[in-house]
């Protein structure tokens, strides 16, 4: 100890102590300086930084997508569903943490997803700090399951060297039946928003609530990660019968195949639409139009070819002459389309013809005129009118389709042979006030409020009592001069034949939660009573004559083995004299006790002479021949040999239906041509021989089989007696209100 003390005698000097104090003062100053700096940061930037910190926190949560509800048909067949898909995301920062991760990860990516390893390496070297890069999009679970095993700790194939890859979930909308019911269903845009049809109308029902995954601090200030799972959207069960819908679409397609590129290059008609409705509930059983489109690929330009082109307002582009039905889209036109033009035409394709397009209904309006007369007491139904082929009303000479006159026409015969003159007399008896009131009751000029997006607004397309002239009344009586859409017509017609109950039409009958529980049942809703039961019975009686009567204009609509009723229509379009027609048939089955209504409209068939309702009745016949047995209605009529053979071939086809339909969807070029249709015409013809009208004494044109009027050379349809394509009526172009001319009907 002593030794040590001697050695270390060196003491801490006063000078050193002073310097030590100086050092301490320097340290003190530094501390003060830093303290001041801390205070300044808090004071000057505190608020801004606080906001920054809070705003940064939000990035810490992620959104979990919801699953969009399904769309089912009445038999719970899936029409639309959402499938979970996965995007493969590369987090370069995590992958590049250690070089040992690189090779195994890239190898696994190449093996599982067939990605190009070189591309990934390039990306990694160029963006080493990227945290979000999509390597592959929309893979199904089976495609990712192998890789999922590699990155899931605890699984057998887990490889800890595979890093920086994760899967982002999302959903894609799938339509297993392709184009089936495309107009009703509609589709979704990429952000899960419905476009057109049910997808748009029921968008909020089908959409769920996205979930969220986020971190928060619990009471003990631990960070908890919490997941609020997404609420999946509700599913909707429609009233559509998938099988019936398939039958309808098959025949619309066949019609198109038969008449496309016939008189002109283009589809079989500008539009063909068909609605089948349950008249006791207002449920839509089938609704289709042609052209349709593939819901899985709505932007397929091939579907546009043959359609009449439309301009920016959605109106059809006019052809060079008034006789042209439109300008039809061809391959070359598509190539020259601007994006805008392309979308105009897509919109024309995607919209639902059955609810969105308005037209003059033509003679299918005649039952409404008669019903109005009977219900209002203006006529008794026992009246007999004298048809001279024309009637002068308000200074205009308005002609019947048979300009030679049909002589004595009772109310019943007026419907059966579709006599314009008789209807004009009925309308005169009704008067403007009652006529317009009943039109409103039937819903003309009002929306039906069907639960589909895009229903046309028809307000203003009908007359009100104050602005209706006697000429307007006369032309309205046979369905010219006012515009309707298909759903309006069939909804009103259903009320004529079901005892007068006007049901609100609907497509969805049930909303079901994602777990399968029923959330809402949509019951049939009667809006009003249009006519009485007795009037309804009389209308059925008259309409049955259209198909069953000897002079009936709708005989060709009768399916083999059944009796139906209905009314044909051949409406002139504007401008008058353009030889353009909208032909239609509106009917019901069975004839004795109607259950279902069917309405087929052919807008400007692709034929030389368009004014022939048979273009519509044949479609009705073809559809009902298949549909009525499917709906289990017993046959009431005897079958002719021809019909037996026809049903036999049909049955053979039905066996292979499933296969045939598959092919149709994938390869629309392959068509199974049905020969029965054309034969039908000839079989019906001989039965009409009993008739004896003036025009039947004319000579027949050898090439067309039509009669020729010796006085002016006009061709006359042998079935109806109407002048073919001959608009001998004055052209009222420019003043359509008065125009109302009329060789409507069939």
Which chain residues interact with another protein by CB under 8 A? 1, 4, 8-12, 15-17, 19-24, 27-28, 30-31, 33-35, 37-39, 41-42, 45-46, 48-50, 52-54, 56-57, 60, 129, 215, 217, 220-223
Tokens of 188: 């979704």
Q: Which residues contact 381 (CB under 8 A, 6 or more apart)?
A: 370, 374, 411, 412, 538
Tell me the closest approach of the beta carbon of residue 16 to another protein, in angstroms: 6
Tell me the closest approach of the beta carbon of residue 1 to another protein, in angstroms: 6
Taking the C-alpha atoms of residue 745 and residue 478, their distance in angstroms, rounded to an integer, is 8
For residues 409 and 417, the answer to whether their CB atoms sit within 8 Å is yes
For residues 422 and 411, the answer to whether their CB atoms sit within 8 Å is yes
Tokens of 540: 């059925």
Tell me the closest approach of the beta carbon of residue 165 to another protein, in angstroms: 18
Taking the C-alpha atoms of residue 495 and residue 530, their distance in angstroms, rounded to an integer, is 7
Closest CB to another protein among 11 and 313?
Answer: 11
Q: What is the DSSP letter of 468?
A: -
Rounded alpha-carbon distances, angstroms, from residue 319 to 99, 333, 547: 69, 14, 36
Rounded alpha-carbon distances, angstroms, from residue 229 to 449, 634, 638: 35, 52, 62
Q: Kindly provide the residue ranges of all beta strands, DSSP E only, lying in 555-690, ordered along the sequence.
A: 565-572, 581-589, 596-605
Closest CB to another protein among 33 and 176?
Answer: 33
Closest CB to another protein among 95 and 287?
Answer: 95
Closest CB to another protein among 94 and 446?
Answer: 94
Closest CB to another protein among 60 and 687?
Answer: 60
Taking the C-alpha atoms of residue 473 and residue 482, their distance in angstroms, rounded to an integer, is 10
Closest CB to another protein among 44 and 140?
Answer: 44
Tell me the closest approach of the beta carbon of residue 337 to another protein, in angstroms: 44
Residue in 55, 62, 67 with CA at minimum distance from that of residue 166: 62
Closest CB to another protein among 6 and 332?
Answer: 6
Closest CB to another protein among 117 and 128?
Answer: 128
Contacts 24+ apart (CB under 8 A), 527-531: 527/502, 527/503, 528/441, 528/502, 529/500, 529/501, 529/502, 530/371, 530/375, 530/438, 530/441, 530/442, 530/492, 530/495, 530/496, 530/500, 530/501, 530/502, 531/371, 531/374, 531/375, 531/495, 531/496, 531/500
Tell me the closest approach of the beta carbon of residue 97 to another protein, in angstroms: 10
Tell me the closest approach of the beta carbon of residue 37 to another protein, in angstroms: 5
Closest CB to another protein among 30 and 302?
Answer: 30
Taking the C-alpha atoms of residue 399 and residue 403, their distance in angstroms, rounded to an integer, is 6
Quickly list H helices, 522-596.
533-548
Taking the C-alpha atoms of residue 695 and residue 718, their distance in angstroms, rounded to an integer, is 9
Tell me the closest approach of the beta carbon of residue 163 to another protein, in angstroms: 13
Tell me the closest approach of the beta carbon of residue 30 to another protein, in angstroms: 5
Closest CB to another protein among 61 and 469?
Answer: 61
Tell me the closest approach of the beta carbon of residue 175 to another protein, in angstroms: 42
Closest CB to another protein among 118 and 215?
Answer: 215
Tell me the closest approach of the beta carbon of residue 106 to another protein, in angstroms: 23
Tell me the closest approach of the beta carbon of residue 49 to another protein, in angstroms: 3
Closest CB to another protein among 15 and 713?
Answer: 15
Is residue 87 classed exposed, middle or buried when 0-12, 13-18 and 19+ CB atoms within 10 A define those classes? middle
Tell me the closest approach of the beta carbon of residue 6 to another protein, in angstroms: 11
Taking the C-alpha atoms of residue 422 and residue 409, their distance in angstroms, rounded to an integer, is 7
Tokens of 77: 């067949």
């Amino acid at each position: 100890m002593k030794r040590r003390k001697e050695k270390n005698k060196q003491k801490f000097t006063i000078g050193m102590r002073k310097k030590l104090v100086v050092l301490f003062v320097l340290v003190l100053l530094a501390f003060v300086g830093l303290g001041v700096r801390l205070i300044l940061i808090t004071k000057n930037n505190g608020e801004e930084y606080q906001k920054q910190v809070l705003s940064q926190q939000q990035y810490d949560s992620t959104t979990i997508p919801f699953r969009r509800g399904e769309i089912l048909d009445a038999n719970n067949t899936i029409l639309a569903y959402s499938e979970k898909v996965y995007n493969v995301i590369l987090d370069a920062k995590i992958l590049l943490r250690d070089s040992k991760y690189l090779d195994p990860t890239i190898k696994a990516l190449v093996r599982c997803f067939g990605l190009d390893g070189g591309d990934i390496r390039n990306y990694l070297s160029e963006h080493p700090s990227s945290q979000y890069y999509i390597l592959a999009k929309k893979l199904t679970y089976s495609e990712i399951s192998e890789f999922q095993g590699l990155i899931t700790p605890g699984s057998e194939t887990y490889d800890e060297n595979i890093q920086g890859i994760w899967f982002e979930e999302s959903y894609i909308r799938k339509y297993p039946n392709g184009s089936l019911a495309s107009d009703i269903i509609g589709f979704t845009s990429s952000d899960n928003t419905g476009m057109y049809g049910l997808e748009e109308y029921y968008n909020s029902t089908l959409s769920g609530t996205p979930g969220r995954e986020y971190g928060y601090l619990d009471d003990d200030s631990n960070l908890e990660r919490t997941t609020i799972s997404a609420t999946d959207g509700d599913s909707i069960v429609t009233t559509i019968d998938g099988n019936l819908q398939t039958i309808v679409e098959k025949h619309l397609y066949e019609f198109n195949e038969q008449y496309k590129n016939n008189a002109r290059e283009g589809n079989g008609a500008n539009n063909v639409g068909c609605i089948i409705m349950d008249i006791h509930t207002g449920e839509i059983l089938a609704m289709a139009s042609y052209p349709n489109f593939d819901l899985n690929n709505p932007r397929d330009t091939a579907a546009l070819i043959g359609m009449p082109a439309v301009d920016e307002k959605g109106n059809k582009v006019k052809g060079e002459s008034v006789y042209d039905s439109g300008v039809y889209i061809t391959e070359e036109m598509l190539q020259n389309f601007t994006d805008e033009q392309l979308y105009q035409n897509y919109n024309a394709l995607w919209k639902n013809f059955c609810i969105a397009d308005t037209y003059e209904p033509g003679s299918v309006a005649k039952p409404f005129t008669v019903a109005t007369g009977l219900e209002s007491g203006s006529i008794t139904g026992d009246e007999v009118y004298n048809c001279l082929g024309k009637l002068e009303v308000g200074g205009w000479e308005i002609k019947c389709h048979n300009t030679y006159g049909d002589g004595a026409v009772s109310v019943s015969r007026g419907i059966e042979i579709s006599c314009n003159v008789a209807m004009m007399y009925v309308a005169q008896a009704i008067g403007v006030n009652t006529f317009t009131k009943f039109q409103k009751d039937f819903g003309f000029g009002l929306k039906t409020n069907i639960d589909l997006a895009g229903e046309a607004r028809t307000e203003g397309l009908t007359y009100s009592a104050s602005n209706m002239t006697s000429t307007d009344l006369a032309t309205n009586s046979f369905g010219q001069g006012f515009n309707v859409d298909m759903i309006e017509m069939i909804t009103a017609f259903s009320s004529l034949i079901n005892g007068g109950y006007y049901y609100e039409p609907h497509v969805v009958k049930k909303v079901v939660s994602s777990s399968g529980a029923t959330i809402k049942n949509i019951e049939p809703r009667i809006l009003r009573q249009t006519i009485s039961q007795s009037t309804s019975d009389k209308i059925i009686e008259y309409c049955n004559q259209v198909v069953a009567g000897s002079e009936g204009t709708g005989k060709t609509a009768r399916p083999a083995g059944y009796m139906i009723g209905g009314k044909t229509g051949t409406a002139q379009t504007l401008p008058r004299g353009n030889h353009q027609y909208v032909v239609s048939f509106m009917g019901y089955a069975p004839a004795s006790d109607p259950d279902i209504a069917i309405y087929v409209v052919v807008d400007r068939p692709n034929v030389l002479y368009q004014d022939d309702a048979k273009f519509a009745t044949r479609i009705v016949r073809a559809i009902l021949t298949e549909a009525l047995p499917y709906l289990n209605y017993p046959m009431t009529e005897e079958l002719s040999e021809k019909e037996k053979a026809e049903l036999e071939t049909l049955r053979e086809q039905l066996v292979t239906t499933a296969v045939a339909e598959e092919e149709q969807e994938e390869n629309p070029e392959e068509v199974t041509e049905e020969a029965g249709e054309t034969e039908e015409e000839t079989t019906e013809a001989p039965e009409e021989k009993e008739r004896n009208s003036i025009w039947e004494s004319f000579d027949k044109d050898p090439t067309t089989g039509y009669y020729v009027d010796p006085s002016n050379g006009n061709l006359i349809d042998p079935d109806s007696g109407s002048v073919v394509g001959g608009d001998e009526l004055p052209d009222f172009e420019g003043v359509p209100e008065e125009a109302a001319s009329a060789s409507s009907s069939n």
